Structure 1
Amino acid sequence: MRLLEKLSRLLLPASQAAIDYPFAASDVAQYRHSAHPEDSVLDEQTWNDLLLAKYSGLLTRGTSIFGQQELHRRLHSGNGATMDSMARVRALLDDPAQESLLLQACTGLRQADCEVSATLWQNAMRDAPRWSRLLPGLPLGLLATVVLALASAWPAVWLLVLGFWLALLAVQMRYHEPMQSWTRQRAALQQLLRSHTLLGGLDQPLARDWQTDAAEAARLNRLLAPSPLASLPGVAEYQDWLWLANVRHYFASRAVVKAHLPWLRDCFARMAALEADLALVCHLRRQPRYCWAEQGDGVALVQVAHPLLEQPQTLDVQLAHKGAFISGQNGIGKSTLLRTVGLNLLTARAFGFCYAAQASVVRLPVYASMQSEDALDQGESLYLAELRRARELLARAEQGRAVFIIDEIFRGTNHLESISAAAAVLQRLAAQALVIVSSHNLVLAPLLQRELEPWCVRRHQQQLRLMPGVLAETNGIALLDAQGFDGAIARRARQVYDWLSAYMAHPGEQELLLLL
């Protein structure tokens, strides 16, 4: 057995059943905030509108906090998927045996129950206080004064005993909470080092990069580990309360981390990247359809689907050098189509693949506006929220080319002003970016025909199709009957609709519609 393999068996902790801890969204995002604060082209509303939190849960199934943080960073990153990552994912897809060995070496990472990127990149590691050098003297002083008190008849000596005992107690109380927190962080770092060492012991092509510094990982792991005596029943309490072993190890292990911060940061980044790639491999193996996306000038997706749908209907999307105005009947899936296109554009840029049979897409930042809501606590109506989001998108467009996914723009005001404002905003956006918009205001199609190609989602032979043109037959009133409304309501709605249609075509020839 190789030396590194022997050492790895001694490293903390022994393999245990993997546990997927429920980390908060702020913990998952911490690595991006700490180590890559400037590398983000994905805003919060796009994250929410495209349901990326739910998608991330699907993507990171069985992945530790380290892999989750790296995948989160890639989704937000403006740099896109790296060639090294895509090459590693492809190699592992072609080599299940090597994938299994790497997964086994990384399984211990899932034992980490806290995130450590803030410690490595953001929080300053302070030096131990000077008085900490005197900590070994406190238990010795306590023992010496106890012996002296027992050997002499001086009652005053017991005051010295009490003083030393209170000093020991004060140190424990002062550092109890910091030590509890640090113990979890230290254990997480040790899992990183342990997996690093295990990878270095593998004779596999994708593990060779870990072999050069695996011995250093093992050495740091031993320096961070507490004394083996601490695992003996009753010994840990004795060491901690009498000899301050926990406090002394707290300062010593933090000093080790501070002295090796650059190395530990590199270890973290490499390990997170590897586990993220392994998560992508496992995820793709579960997918019925995916492809490696080619880079193009438009959006060409063949049999594209959304991975969050259990039984998705596939669609072909072909947008060349021009945005799209998408119409369709109520409930046919226009919003799902927008989310499908938006998510596939994101995964193509972040990971290099799409959930389609073929894909050729632009590699641009994606911004969505699909779920604007009023905020009563902030005094912001729906229309004001929509205007705020429109200003944000216009400002983003000024910063460079991007893709904008917009659903039902300006719902919060009257029909005429909604169309007028939407036409003006969409024309400006389409002049600077690729715009894909869906709306029930069909009059926008001719108003925007120079900027956006009209497309309609239709059902053809039980399959959804995206076809050129604008919706010709609406179903909003027909749904009144389908949803159980009184027949009189449906008839009255049809009467008003017919009158309005005639009035819009020949406004001077229509009499005022009286209430029946």
Structure 2
Amino acid sequence: MNPAQDFYEQLRTRQLSLYATSKKEYDRFAIVRLVVILALLVAVVLAFGYSFLAGFLSLPVFVGVSYFLVKKHDSIKRTADRAEIRAALADRELGALNHDFRVFDGGDDLLDPAHPYALDLDIFGPHSLFQFLNRTVTAGGRRSLADALLAPQDQDKRARTQVQGKDLSAMPAWCLEFRMLGEGLNDSLAQQQRLRDWLLRPAVVQSGLDKALLYVIPFLTIGSIAAMLLIDPWFVGLIGLVPAVLLYRKYSAAIATEHAYTSAMGSLLKQYADLLQHADGWSGASADVARSVPAIRKLSYYISQLDVRSNPFAMLVELGGAWSMQWLTNLDGWRETYREELPVWLDTIARVDTLVSWATLRYNHPDWVDPEFTDEPVFQATGLGHPLLNPAGRITNDIDMRTDGHIHLVTGSNMAGKSTWLRTVGINLVLAQAGSPVCALHLRQRPLHVWTSMRTQDDLSESTSSFYAELKRLQSIIRAVSEKDEDVFFLLDEILKGTNSRDRHTGSRALIRQLIRDQGAGIIATHDLELAVLENEPGSRVENYAMEVQTRGDDLVFDYKLHPGVCTSFNATALMARMGIEIPAEEIKLHHD
């Protein structure tokens, strides 16, 4: 059994037990809380009946005990809620180990069809690589994980991801606790950007007189209330509220603007602080994480107090104590102190969040290996498999080729696995260059930039046919190869399939020769057997490989294995006959022979 499965099963069992126990305790405590508070309330009433002094002295006891009971009740509920979340997370991972990862976010909104490989290699969307990997809980972590899959990481970042991912993979409970603390966060990059923009704004209250008034206004309010109670006519006391009214009128627009930058961030920041506090327990977190926690909790509190202005009765505290201005002044001070540090803390959360996904991948798949990088122009792998295929039925293959102007030409019948092989190679290259382990027994490569042309489609918005769309894609690949700014590894599936066989063959031969001349390397899957003769040309850098299909009676048998040479078996006529197309038996036999 995979050790991960045993860990998740035990964790789920323990947390479900804790949830059930805490839920019962919560229900029982609700009755205790109600009885005690009612009893205390009766005692307070009786105390006031005895004497005003006794009643007055009993009030703090009533408030203190009630507060304690409420906090205790909330603590029990929090324990139950967190146990339920941990059990749910463990259950999701058990599903993922059985290759059911549909519950995770696939990042559909992150897909750019024009990207060099994201569409063809199923990087985003349902049953995608991102969905397979993604365990992030923050918008920043989600974006960071996506970025790592969209472009090769430099050597330092790749190495750091490997080392830190390995470190955290030895701490599965810590990783799951991080995810539990971030559950339901629902932040966004737009919210974070507003917060970053807010950091660059100048202080709202800069006038010394206005700052002095903020100290005086609460005392003026108390005096005003006393005057309204004691002086006739009462409305003379309203004069004491005039400074608050004038100050609010002067800064009302600034208050609204500042609130727009920070609105709804109070609760999010509180959860960020929880994540950072947890991150502080890992040695790989940055040294200033401990300083960040109280600072962000304070910012969260300040913002939550500013949010009070949305309350229907907010005007009472605005007039009584210049409420918004008081908290804006506190926010000004916080911003001045932590202006440079908050962006670093937000980036730290995103970094740790992303690493939890990489660490979970390592923990769940201990049989995967870290790739070896070299300056030699090679791509070598043994036991290379497609990560998104269920391990129970996954077929692996080997590859060994140079990447300085060499091409593997793969021929094969329909459904033999050619396209899957291209995606197997591509996805593992993407993983390797992100700092991830790969689905292989061994992989050694030079850093490469992957380009694909596999799923070109019509674009009605630009009146573009699928053939023209493919030509544009190939143009981009040719340009990338010829510019030599990067080492390109291309994966092409049935090139020039939108034209007649003669033009397709002529164009394909010319394209292959041009890509080799410009030192491009890659794999081309094709049905065009005539291209196989390129291997026999003098000085050829084309190698032929095939994926065969066998027939057993009326059944087609696929082994999905890669073999040197040219495909000798085809199944299209047999498949068409099964679908009802009346093909003469001698024609079917001719194709099989």
- What TM-score bracket applies, with the shorter chain setting the length? 0.7 to 0.9
Q: Distance in 1 between matches of 2:275 and 2:302?
A: 21
Deviation at 1:372, TM superposition (A): 0.7
Residue 514 of structure 2 corresponds to which residue in structure 1? 428
Q: Distance in 2 between matches of 1:258 and 1:413?
A: 65
**213 and 164 in structure 1: CA distance in 2 versus 1, 3 angstrom threshold:** closer
Q: Deviations over 1:207-229 (max 9, x none)?
A: 2755x434421331243032699
Deviation at 1:173, TM superposition (A): 8.7
AA partner of residue 433 (structure 1): G
Please tell me whether the aligned partners of residues 50 and 342 of structure 1 are also in contact (alpha carbons under 8 angstroms): yes
Among 460, 482, 491, the alignment partner of 2:584 is: 491
Are residues 1:406 and 2:476 paired? Answer: no
AA partner of residue 442 (structure 2): Q
Among 101, 106, 123, the alignment partner of 2:174 is: 101
Q: What TM-score results when the alignment is normalised by the length of structure 1? A: 0.74
Q: Distance in 1 between matches of 2:316 and 2:528?
A: 74
Residue 476 of structure 1 corresponds to which residue in structure 2? 572
Among 145, 148, 166, the alignment partner of 1:90 is: 166
Q: Distance in 2 between matches of 1:473 and 1:48?
A: 30
Please tell me whether the aligned partners of residues 230 and 236 of structure 1 are also in contact (alpha carbons under 8 angstroms): no
Within-5 A mapping of 1:115-134: 115-116=188-189, 117-119=192-194, 125-129=200-204, 134=210
Gaps of 5+ in 1: 1-8, 30-39, 499-516
Residue 140 of structure 2 corresponds to which residue in structure 1? 66
Q: Distance in 2 between matches of 1:90 and 1:158?
A: 67
AA partner of residue 207 (structure 1): S
Among 447, 458, 461, the alignment partner of 2:548 is: 458
Please tell me whether the aligned partners of residues 229 and 235 of structure 1 are also in contact (alpha carbons under 8 angstroms): no
Are residues 1:348 and 2:432 paired? Answer: yes
Within-5 A mapping of 1:54-453: 54-61=128-135, 63-78=137-152, 79-80=154-155, 81-93=157-169, 95=170, 98-101=171-174, 103-105=176-178, 107-116=180-189, 117-119=192-194, 125-129=200-204, 134=210, 179=259, 182-200=262-280, 202=281, 206-207=282-283, 209-210=285-286, 212-226=287-301, 238=313, 242-243=317-318, 245=323, 249=327, 252-253=330-331, 256-257=334-335, 259-287=337-365, 289-296=367-374, 297-310=377-390, 311-321=392-402, 322-397=406-481, 398=483, 399-431=485-517, 432-447=519-534, 450-453=540-543
Please tell me whether the aligned partners of residues 429 and 435 of structure 1 are also in contact (alpha carbons under 8 angstroms): no
Q: Distance in 2 between matches of 1:376 and 1:235?
A: 47
Q: Distance in 2 between matches of 1:241 and 1:335?
A: 69
Deviation at 1:100, TM superposition (A): 1.7
SS class of match (1:290) = coil
Please tell me whether the aligned partners of residues 326 and 439 of structure 1 are also in contact (alpha carbons under 8 angstroms): yes
Q: Deviations over 1:387-439 (max 9, x none)?
A: 11111111211122121111111222222222222222232223322121111
**392 and 462 in structure 1: CA distance in 2 versus 1, 3 angstrom threshold:** closer
SS class of match (2:561) = strand
Deviation at 1:144, TM superposition (A): 8.4
Gaps of 5+ in 2: 1-70, 72-77, 90-102, 551-556
Count of residues paired in the alignment: 463
Please tell me whether the aligned partners of residues 303 and 357 of structure 1 are also in contact (alpha carbons under 8 angstroms): yes
Q: What is the percent sequence identity of the aligned residues? A: 18
Q: Deviations over 1:160-212 (max 9, x none)?
A: 98998799699779866973662344543443333323343x3xxx42755x4
Q: Relative to structure 2, which stretch is displaced further, 148-157 or 426-435?
A: 148-157
Deviation at 1:291, TM superposition (A): 1.2
AA partner of residue 405 (structure 1): L
Q: Distance in 2 between matches of 1:492 and 1:223?
A: 81
Residue 44 of structure 1 corresponds to which residue in structure 2? 115
Please tell me whether the aligned partners of residues 315 and 465 of structure 1 are also in contact (alpha carbons under 8 angstroms): yes
Q: Relative to structure 2, which stretch is displaced further, 293-302 or 404-413?
A: 293-302
Q: Relative to structure 2, which stretch is displaced further, 399-408 or 179-188?
A: 179-188
SS class of match (1:470) = coil
SS class of match (1:268) = helix
Q: Distance in 2 between matches of 1:280 and 1:474?
A: 41
AA partner of residue 276 (structure 2): H
Q: Distance in 1 between matches of 2:567 and 2:371?
A: 31
Q: Deviations over 1:440-485 (max 9, x none)?
A: 2222222466232111112588632100111122222221112x22
Q: Relative to structure 2, which stretch is displaced further, 376-385 or 292-301?
A: 292-301
**363 and 157 in structure 1: CA distance in 2 versus 1, 3 angstrom threshold:** same
SS class of match (1:456) = strand
**442 and 261 in structure 1: CA distance in 2 versus 1, 3 angstrom threshold:** farther
Q: Distance in 1 between matches of 2:105 and 2:324?
A: 27
Please tell me whether the aligned partners of residues 302 and 331 of structure 2 are also in contact (alpha carbons under 8 angstroms): no
Q: What TM-score results when the alignment is normalised by the length of structure 2? A: 0.65
Q: Which structure has the greater CA radius of gyration?
A: 2
Deviation at 1:354, TM superposition (A): 0.8
Please tell me whether the aligned partners of residues 374 and 380 of structure 1 are also in contact (alpha carbons under 8 angstroms): yes
Please tell me whether the aligned partners of residues 332 and 458 of structure 1 are also in contact (alpha carbons under 8 angstroms): yes
AA partner of residue 46 (structure 1): Y
